[in-house]
Chain A
Amino acid sequence: MSHRSNDRTPSRRHWTKRSNPIAGLASFVWLLIVLIPLYAMITTSLAGPEEAIGRNALTPPKNPTLDNYGLVLDSGFSHYLWNTTLTAIGVVVIVVCLSVPLSYVAVRNRGFWAGGAFRLFLLGVAIPAQAVVVPLFLLITKLDIYDSLWAIILPTAAFAMPVSVLVLTGTLRDISEESYEAMALDGASPTRMLFQLVIPLAKGGISTVIIYSALQAWNNFLFALIFTQSEEPRVLTLGLYNYVSQFGVNIPALLASVVLSGVPIFVVYLVARRALVSGLMGVGGK
């Protein structure tokens, strides 16, 4: 992260530049809490079968091996990863296409129905997806999409919408009335305003929505557990869960699968950390 040049001149120091030893110490403690499980995960995943039992996880294995990773990759890992990728793409496309026009209406149309739509989503934030799996199960079977990726994509997208709408309406409220008026004077239709004013100015909010909904898809377990059963539509989270019974007491292999599941998104994090972090920050609202 690069410093802005004026940060270095003492007279213009930002208030947050003060040091705070107590908070510094606390954050060091949290650093250990974060790193120790990650470290134990990686060292254990490299341990061979003879070392798996009764090993002190804080010492690296004597004979590190990648066999556990090979075993995971031979057990359908890439197929599950591909399914998760497809799910994430589907969820993101649905959420963006539906929530952008909806938020535009909620902010710009002062009518009764637009206000009602906004309140529906405000309340929707509180609906836990868990609570509706039983009736959703009924709907999914009636729609004849049981045991397909759609059974995961559609409900996941629906439950990602409330937060997305809240984030987007927050962003859209910052577009000034004057900008709309200027375009209206040019004779712009609402459609043209959406594409030439709203979407370009709401880029930050839209990237937050993309990241948030992709993470919902990435994390989804319950819908996959209940709405799919065969190998074909199995996503990564459910694949990992099935490794518990498949690998049994082979803890190193299980941890290797956990490490591998983190690799793709870790690469994304390394490449686009700023976009990811500032996007997620947006979930907290402006």
Chain B
Amino acid sequence: MTYPVTKSAAAAPKGDVRATHVGRPHASWALPGVLFFTFFAVVPMALAVYLSLTDWNGLGDPGFVGLENWKNLFTDPQLMHSLLVTVLLTVVSWAFQTVISLLLGVWAAGKQRNRAVLSAIFFVPFLLSSTAIALLFFALLDPNYGVVTGDTLGTTSGAFLAIVFVGAWQFIPFHTLIYQGGARQIPEVLYQAAAIDGATGLRQFFSITLPQLRHTMAMSGVLMVVGSLTYFETVLILTQGGPGTDTKILPYLMYEAGFRSYDYGYASAVATFLVIAATGLSLLLVRVTGFGKMNSVREGM
């Protein structure tokens, strides 16, 4: 490609060079952030794998024991039970929270005054910390002094549903907000076109709103899955894994093994297992929804 040699055109390629090389930050600017995250999140993950091969009681140095913790883990009937409870809790919470926050969020995306007022109230539970919310329901559900009569937390299904409900009560405001934001970004022209074609409100919801919200669903879904793996304080405060071991989710099993029985090796095996499960689940969600290719949310329009 040749350029006529005039003053202005000669300046242009020089400008391009600046834009592609000089104007771009050096990759080393990312280094502090990457190192910090690696040190406090990635290294501990690797360390968890190492500790799971050792026998460590928190004092002294960890001693190598090979796969013993893993053998114990996979022969421990409690593990399968905890895994089942964790998966069940995650799936039920995800389904419950997604349906409600999707409906509330799309509804709240309207600009009517009453919707704005209700949205402002819906948000209030999210202002309390998870600990405060767990304590609130611990108090309200106390069989002797609480305000809900009956021993809700003493039955298996009651305790399980209480955890699902408390998690939903806390996080639905947040996910409603995410869906509200997502719904407001759907171009109005899509609905106008659909209305001209005679599509009903319900049809518009399934053909426009839902597909347009798939990135929102992916992000909110990943946050819900990771979030429900972390219902640790809810379980600790509300049920302590009970009745019996019926609500002992994996993080709680790990906490008990490590910080109550001081068997950090075994706790690390549970933790490693948890990381693998969480990463696998999130990767699956990312793949299913195409979230990784998030160059433009409006692609294909």
- B-binding residues in A (CB < 8 A): 1, 3, 7, 14-20, 23-24, 26-27, 30-31, 33-35, 37-38, 40-41, 44, 52-53, 55-58, 94, 98-99, 101-102, 104-106, 108-111, 113-114, 117, 120-139, 154-155, 157-159, 161-163, 165-166, 170, 173, 177, 180-181, 183-185, 187-190, 193-194, 218-219, 221-222, 226, 236-238, 240-241, 243-244, 249, 251, 254-255, 257-258, 261-262, 265-266, 269, 273, 277-278, 280-286
Contacts and interface: CB of A to CB of B under 8 A. Distances in A.
Contacts of A132: 41, 44-45, 47-48, 271, 275
A282 B169 CA distance: 21
Interface of B is mostly: helix
Contacts of B110: 14, 16-18, 20
B34 interface: yes
B174 to A, nearest CB: 7
A276 to B, nearest CB: 8
A163 B15 CA distance: 35
Contacts of B264: 134, 137-138
Interface residues of B, number: 118
B167 interface: no
B274 A130 contact: yes
A108 to B, nearest CB: 5
B91 interface: no
A237 B131 contact: yes
Contacts of B184: 16
A23 to B, nearest CB: 4
B164 interface: no
A130 B230 contact: yes
Contacts, number: 355
Contacts of A243: 135
Interface string B187-206: 01001100100000100000
Nearest to A4: B111
A194 B108 CA distance: 36
Interface in B254-301: 254-255, 258-259, 264, 267-268, 271-272, 274-275, 278-279, 281-283, 286, 292, 294-297
A105 B297 contact: no
Interface of B: 15, 18-19, 22-27, 29-30, 32-34, 36-45, 47-48, 51, 58, 100, 103-104, 106-113, 115-116, 118, 120-125, 127-132, 135-140, 142, 144-147, 169, 172, 174, 177-185, 188, 191-192, 195, 201, 215-216, 219-220, 222-223, 225-226, 229-230, 232-233, 237, 251, 254-255, 258-259, 264, 267-268, 271-272, 274-275, 278-279, 281-283, 286, 292, 294-297
Contact of B47 (A102, A124, A135): A135
A31 B113 contact: no
